[in-house]
Amino acid sequence: MMKRWQAVKRLLPLLAVFSLLLAGCGREDLSVLRPQGPVAQEQLGLMKLAISIMIVVLVIVFAIAAYVLVKFRRRKGQNGVPEQVEGNFKLEIIWTVIPLVLVIILAVPTVQQIFAFGDDHYNDKDAVQVKVTSHQYWWEFEYPQYGVKTAQTLVIPTGKKIAFELKTADVLHSFWVPSLSGKMDTNPDGTINRFSFSADKEGVYRGKCAELCGPSHGFMEFKVKAVNGDSFNNWVTAMKAPAVLPEDPALAETFKKQCLSCHAVGDQGGPVGPNLTGIGSRESVAGILLNEGQDGGKPVKENLKEWLMDPQAVKPGNKMPNPKDLGLTDEQIDGIADYLANYKLNY
Ligand code: HEC
Ligand SMILES: [Cu+2]
């Protein structure tokens, strides 16, 4: 009895490790194993190549080891020192040449493709340029060819090359959409990084900051929404339409005074906070509160209220002041949440 308990106790850490591993399998939209575009596809191809070669080597080496262990084990009545072998020219050549060949098979496509991933396509004629700026704890997306800025949901046309130019407004962050491509850092030293990817199919892909950047790093999420070319053009047109303000003039005044000092809607407001144009039709509020239509999402107004009632409770350490400290009443907050929830774009 005692012994069995000991064995169970020894297995517990293993169990813990496996549960952790399995916990990582929950969200498929954060997986590099389900590529949704050519860049992610090629990167997965490289991983598969490396893993297959390693598995083949592993199987062969273990098979030989097992065979040798069994075949040359000490048999009954065998007590002397076995025959000592020193060097075998043929074997040594074989186990030098085979790994060499394997490393070359691994290296040629890896080096080739890694350089290709680093190619600068920013000025390609048919690429859609996007300037990404990371902030503690949100993402800003600017489309210089279209004169449009948005936040948290990156809208892209399917099938087109999206060429990014990435920088940070504060600390080191990393831009990562696992189903579309590997990561790219946004560097605080002023370096600007460029890379590109594209999405084959329409859909919403989940992105994350992949570099520990502060207490709300884990909440620094965003979405990539791939739509067809026509929808993308409609979206750009809708983004450029004049600002829509709250209907109630007093509320509009409060919103302009207290919110548009940092935020922009349409052609009004400032660049300090996320652009709020059409926030009612986005996939999330503040990147992390998922709206209806997303897995486990809530009505957008509910999320907006949750955010506006206490931004620090949602994302500790973020740079948005509490609207109550700006002098807003619960009623005004409700009114603004209602206005923002109904600020939708058709595309
Ligand atoms: C001092 C600048 C500042 C002021 C003033 C301000 N905000 Fe913000 N706001 C921010 C920042 C910064 C964020 C991003 C927080 C984060 O996600 O880390 C934000 C985020 C938001 C978001 C989520 C945006 C998104 O893309 O999902 C909403 C909604 C919002 N603010 C509404 C308001 C409203 C309404 C007011 C006025 C009552 C207001 N803000 C006042 C700076 C400000
Ligand atoms: Cu970050």
253 and 223 both lie in a single domain: no
Predicted pLDDT of residue 25: 56
2 falls within a domain: no
What distance in angstroms lies between residue 273's CA and the mean position of ligand 1's atoms? Answer: 6
Please confirm whether the linkage preceding 137 is cis (ω < 30° from 0).
Answer: yes
280 and 202 both lie in a single domain: no
Pocket test residue of 154, 208, 257, 262 for ligand 1, highest count of atoms within 8 A of CB: 262
Give 174's Cβ-side CA count (13 Å radius): 12
57 and 128 both lie in a single domain: yes
Task: Using the atom order of ligand 1, give the atom closest to the CA of residue 284.
Answer: 27
122 and 262 both lie in a single domain: no
Other Cβ atoms closer than 10 A to 31: 15
CA distance 242 to 95: 71
178 and 275 both lie in a single domain: no
CA distance 240 to 146: 9
Alpha helix positions (H), the chain: 2-23, 38-71, 89-117, 229-240, 249-258, 300-309, 311-314, 330-341
263 and 214 both lie in a single domain: no
What distance in angstroms lies between residue 10's CA and the mean position of ligand 1's atoms? Answer: 50
Given a contact cutoff of 8 angstroms between Cβ atoms, the answer to whether 277 and 148 are in contact is no
132 falls within a domain: yes
Q: Ligand 1 site: residues with CB under 6 angstroms?
A: 137-138, 151-152, 258-259, 261-263, 272-274, 276, 279, 285-287, 304, 307-308, 315, 318-321, 323, 326, 328, 336, 340
Task: Using the atom order of ligand 1, give the atom closest to the CA of residue 336.
Answer: 35
What distance in angstroms lies between residue 127's CA and the mean position of ligand 2's atoms? Answer: 26
226-to-103, 137, 153, 159, 188 alpha-carbon distances in Å: 38, 23, 10, 9, 29
| Nearest alpha carbon to residue 178 among 76, 305, 43 | 43
Given a contact cutoff of 8 angstroms between Cβ atoms, the answer to whether 196 and 127 are in contact is yes
What distance in angstroms lies between residue 139's CA and the mean position of ligand 1's atoms? Answer: 12
State the residue range of the domain holding 180.
Answer: 29-63+88-227
Predicted pLDDT of residue 6: 78
169 falls within a domain: yes
200 and 284 both lie in a single domain: no
Task: Using the atom order of ligand 1, give the atom closest to the CA of residue 275.
Answer: 26
Other Cβ atoms closer than 10 A to 308: 23
Pocket test residue of 173, 260, 279, 320 for ligand 1, highest count of atoms within 8 A of CB: 320
What is the pTM (predicted TM-score) of this model? 0.87
Residue nearest to atom 30 of ligand 1 (CA): 308
155 and 212 both lie in a single domain: yes
202 falls within a domain: yes
Total domains in the chain come to: 2
13 falls within a domain: no
What distance in angstroms lies between residue 23's CA and the mean position of ligand 1's atoms? Answer: 32
Which pLDDT tens digits describe the chain residue by residue (347 residues)?
A: 556 777 777 888 888 787 777 665 556 678 888 899 999 999 999 999 999 999 999 999 999 999 999 998 888 888 888 888 888 999 999 999 999 999 999 999 999 998 988 889 999 999 999 999 999 999 999 999 999 999 999 999 999 999 999 999 999 999 999 999 999 999 999 899 999 999 999 999 999 999 999 999 999 999 999 999 999 999 999 999 999 999 999 999 999 999 999 999 998 998 899 999 999 999 999 999 999 999 899 999 999 999 999 999 999 999 999 999 999 999 999 999 999 999 999 99
Q: What are residue 47's phi and psi, to 5 degrees?
A: -65, -40
328 falls within a domain: yes
| Nearest alpha carbon to residue 344 among 283, 295, 297, 290 | 283
Q: Which amino acid is at 335?
A: G
23 falls within a domain: no
17 falls within a domain: no
What distance in angstroms lies between residue 137's CA and the mean position of ligand 1's atoms? Answer: 11
List the CATH number of the domain containing 195. Answer: 2.60.40.420
Ligand nearest to the CA of 333: 1
215 and 261 both lie in a single domain: no
208 strand-pairing partners: 176, 221
CA distance 325 to 105: 62
